[in-house]
Amino acid sequence: MIDPEHADYGRLWSLVNQTTRSRYDRYQRQTERRFDLVRLHCDDR
């Protein structure tokens, strides 16, 4: 989980919105609650 206080949050939030045509920016404007991000990592073995 990456919360809004995480140093990389802004960069990741921007990437999410680039790939979803700003879906989460639009939704964020409708609420005061800040969203956590979930980062999935694939471990190549």
Q: What is the pLDDT of residue 38?
A: 95
Kindly report the average pLDDT of the chain as a whole number: 94
Question: CB–CB of 39/33 below 8 Å?
Answer: no
Q: What are the structural domain ranges in the chain?
A: 1-45
Percentage of the chain lying above the pLDDT 70 cut: 98
Place of tokens 């989980």: 1
Question: CB–CB of 38/9 below 8 Å?
Answer: no
Beta bridge partners of 2: 37
Percentage of the chain lying above the pLDDT 90 cut: 84
Q: What Å distances lie between residue 1 and 21, 30, 36, 37, CA to CA?
A: 22, 22, 6, 6
Question: Could you tell me the pTM of the whole model?
Answer: 0.80
What is the arithmetic mean of pLDDT over 33-39? 94
Q: What is the pLDDT of residue 34?
A: 92
d(CA 2, CA 33): 15
